[in-house]
Amino acid sequence: MKKIYYTCLAFLMLSSVSFGQRTLTLEECINIALDNNISIKRARNNALIAKSTFTQSKFNFLPSLNAGASHNWAEGLSFDQTSGGLVNTTTLSGGGSISANLNIFNGFSNRLGMQRSNLLYQAAEQDVKGNVQATEASIVFSFLQVITTGENLKIAEQTKELLQEQLEQQEIRERAGVGNMEQVYNFRSQIASQDLAIVNLRNSLQSNRLTLLQLLFLDPTEEYTFEGITGDDVTLEQEIEEYGTVFSRSMEFSPAVKSAELNLQASKKTLKIAQFAWLPSLSASAATGTSWSSNLRNQDGSVVDLSDQFDTNRRKNASLNLGIPLFTRFQNRTQMQQSKIQYLNSELNLEQAKNTLTNQVQQAYLDLVNAQSTYSAAKTSLLNLDNAYEFAKNRYESGTIDFVTYLQSLNGKNRGELELIRAKYSILLRKAILDIYTGELDPANSN
């Protein structure tokens, strides 16, 4: 019964660990990051603000309409506007009005302002896409760092197993009297060195894992594993497109460049608004209202009814208003100078965005070309190193070569495997980065 109990308990514990662990693919990591990234959320909020500003710029063409009412109390000598005379008594009065104002011409400020708001809204939308692009790139890089380190750790552990097998054989030979302790100590020394390498790789894996989980805004205390990316020789050795084609697509797609271009156009609208500030403005206004007063009385001394006062005291007015800015304490001049400098800065921002994208695409493209050439050479090299290792292993076991020669062959094999893995994942990384830059990344096809 105890045996059955402990068996069930162990099964439940293993099941809880298995169910508590979650495996994430590259696609899932990208989607989680896009959902949780604060910069993307902030950019979306800024886009909503820009959209509301653009909507308001359309409403600026509408007339304004206002209504008002008042109730007044006065005591002593005062002029009663409603009765039209001086009074020296306690006066109660009030009134109401409705007014409207229409801006007919204000130096194209409303029209240019609406165009500028539209450009800024489009730029804000591109900023969202730019944040998405940057997040995708950082996730791809961090994800592949985790996978690469994990593969290196597997190779290191496999190497330790090989050394452990050789150590056990040497210990058997030494106990049988046909070996020597020097070889045993040599293998133990190599296993100790390999243990140190494994510890360092595990620490590096944990650090890379933490970096990735932080980018995903996930709890690092929970158990997560990451599913590797596979790529056959056809994919890894696929011919790379011409750099000019890749660069043109990247420049055409780039949200950062589009945002900078739209901000440049918006700065141009701001400059035109400042230039037209010297033009006259024309507006129309109209109002209607009425009033009442306790001093307005009938011949018998009674206060005139409010309804009669409202009807009798009704007034209307309309006007055209022309404003000519003769002297504004140089405010218009200063505003135009500042707008011109802002326009020049927007040109520099566009140039910087293009230079940054150019450098990124050039580096990713060159790294991809180098990774492909390295991968092709590493495949051939590893094939020869594997053959050399098997040959050296057989000769060492038969006693025809020394331990140093055997170890050199083993180390060469390990270096070849690591180089092949680095080249493989470097190809996958640079391909993914270039797909992000050209807008062709499809996380669903990343596995």
- Supply the pLDDT for residue 96: 93
Burial label for 323, CB within 10 Å (0-12, 13-18, 19+), is exposed
- Supply the pLDDT for residue 393: 85
Mean pLDDT (the chain, rounded): 87
- Supply the pLDDT for residue 185: 87
Provide the percentage of residues in the chain whose pLDDT is more than 90. 52
Task: Please give the Cα distance from 365 to 434 (Å, whole number).
Answer: 7
Burial label for 420, CB within 10 Å (0-12, 13-18, 19+), is buried
Contacts of 363 (CB under 8 A, 6+ apart): none
- Supply the pLDDT for residue 19: 47
**Over 50: is that where the pLDDT of 233 sits?**
yes
User: Token pair of 356, please?
Assistant: 């940054």
Note whether residue 262 is domain-resident.
yes
- Supply the pLDDT for residue 20: 55
Note whether residue 80 is domain-resident.
no
Note whether residue 258 is domain-resident.
yes
- Supply the pLDDT for residue 10: 44
Q: Is 259 left (phi over 0), alpha (psi -120 to 50) or beta?
A: alpha
Which pLDDT tens digit goes with each residue over 280-308?
Answer: 999 999 999 998 888 877 767 778 888 88
Task: Please give the Cα distance from 213 to 138 (Å, whole number).
Answer: 12
- Supply the pLDDT for residue 68: 95
**Over 50: is that where the pLDDT of 2 sits?**
no
pLDDT band at 196 (very low <50, low <70, confident <90, very high): very high
CA distances in angstroms from 188 to 165, 168, 176, 406, listed in the order given = 11, 10, 18, 15
- Supply the pLDDT for residue 269: 96
Which pLDDT tens digit goes with each residue over 329-377?
Answer: 899 999 999 999 999 999 999 999 999 999 999 999 999 999 899 888 9
Least reliable range by pLDDT among 316-320, 380-384, 441-445: 441-445
**Over 80: is that where the pLDDT of 384 sits?**
yes
Note whether residue 70 is domain-resident.
no
Q: What is the largest CA-CA distance in the chain?
A: 143
Q: What Rg do the C-alpha atoms of the chain give, in angstroms?
A: 40
How many structural domains comprise the chain?
Answer: 1
Q: What angle do CA 228, 232, 233 make, to 5 degrees?
A: 140
pLDDT band at 312 (very low <50, low <70, confident <90, very high): confident
- Supply the pLDDT for residue 255: 96
Task: Please give the Cα distance from 372 to 369 (Å, whole number).
Answer: 5
pLDDT band at 323 (very low <50, low <70, confident <90, very high): very high
**Over 80: is that where the pLDDT of 315 sits?**
yes
Task: Please give the Cα distance from 35 to 40 (Å, whole number).
Answer: 8
Note whether residue 269 is domain-resident.
yes
- Supply the pLDDT for residue 102: 95
pLDDT band at 79 (very low <50, low <70, confident <90, very high): confident
DSSP of 276-344: GGGS-EEEEEEEEEEEEETT-B-TTSPBPPHHHHHHHT-EEEEEEEEE--S--TTHHHHHHHHHHHHHH
Note whether residue 86 is domain-resident.
no
Neighbours of 295 (CB within 10 A): 22
Task: Please give the Cα distance from 108 to 114 (Å, whole number).
Answer: 10
121, 50 contact by CB (below 8 A): yes
**Over 90: is that where the pLDDT of 52 sits?**
yes
Enclosing domain of residue 117: 25-63+107-277+325-445
Neighbours of 210 (CB within 10 A): 12
427, 236 contact by CB (below 8 A): yes
Residues 198-222 have a mean pLDDT of 94
- Supply the pLDDT for residue 403: 75
210, 189 contact by CB (below 8 A): no
Give the H or E element holding residue 259.
Answer: helix 255-275
Note whether residue 16 is domain-resident.
no
**Over 80: is that where the pLDDT of 445 sits?**
no
- Supply the pLDDT for residue 177: 77
In this structure, is the dihedral angle defined by the CA atoms of residues 355, 358, 359 and 360, taken in order, positive or negative?
A: positive
Residues 389-414 have a mean pLDDT of 84
- Supply the pLDDT for residue 76: 80
Provide the percentage of residues in the chain whose pLDDT is more than 70. 93
Measured distance between the N- and C-terminal CA atoms of the chain, rounded to whole angstroms: 46
pLDDT band at 140 (very low <50, low <70, confident <90, very high): very high
Query: CATH no. for residue 153?
Result: 1.20.1600.10
pLDDT band at 309 (very low <50, low <70, confident <90, very high): confident
Note whether residue 59 is domain-resident.
yes
Which pLDDT tens digit goes with each residue over 4-51?
Answer: 444 444 443 444 444 457 899 988 999 999 999 999 999 999 999 999
Task: Please give the Cα distance from 347 to 368 (Å, whole number).
Answer: 32
